[in-house]
Amino acid sequence: MLDEPIHLTASDESWPSLAALECSRLAGALSLPPSQIEHIGSTAVPGLLSKPILDIQVGVLPFPPPVTALSTMEQLEYTAHGEADVPGRLYFTARSAGHFNVHFVLFGGEHWRNNLLLRQYLRTSAAARERYASSKLAAVSSGATTLLAYSAAKATLVSQLLAEALATRSAG
């Protein structure tokens, strides 16, 4: 189910190791080098309030990936959701064997670069983390307690944070 109920939780120290295990499992099953699979999203930022669902980005060449990759995801108990309103991304969820979202994107492409850049910016900027956490809390407090409503409620700030991250990278 794409538009599932969400809740927020404090950062969990086990998330990086759980993500690393799933990244390794995906790399083996998809026959991809580990460098093409990254833990992204809020759970990849220590100390950041998050949904307790780990986001993993799989960079593929070419995009879209071959049908065999999609059937492999099904065998790994992931549910396919197509682009899910994000052109250039294929979205998968797993809820029975852990709580994971997997985003297939073009390796080295815009989605790949932006997700890594935003993750790095949030890891290094306490002010950005605080603004993002406040936005998340405000979204849920205002009633955005399903994935689509929650994502829409914080979309403007996410765009602003990405623009700041891009500007910081350009200035550095």
Q: How far apart are CA 115 and CA 47, in angstroms?
A: 18
**Could you confirm whether domain 15-166 is CATH 3.30.460.10?**
yes
Give tens-digit pLDDT for 30-86: 999 999 999 999 999 999 999 999 999 999 999 999 999 999 999 999 999 999 999
- Directed axis angle between helix 147-171 and helix 126-141, to 10°? 160
Q: What is the mean pLDDT of residues 95-123?
A: 96
Give tens-digit pLDDT for 128-172: 999 999 999 999 999 999 999 999 999 999 999 999 999 998 876
Paired sense of beta strands 54-60 and 79-80, if any: unpaired
pLDDT at residue number 172: 67
**Four-residue CA torsion sign, 112, 69, 82, 140:** negative
Confidence category of residue 17, pLDDT binned at 50, 70, 90: very high
Q: How far apart are CA 104 and CA 80, in angstroms?
A: 11
Task: Give the residue extent of every domain in the chain.
Answer: 15-166
pTM over 0.85: yes
pLDDT at residue number 1: 65
CA separation, residue 68 to residues 27, 30, 74, 117, 121 (Å):
14, 9, 10, 29, 34
What dihedral angle (degrees, nearest 10) is formed by the CA atoms of 161, 147, 152, 136? -50
SS3 125: coil
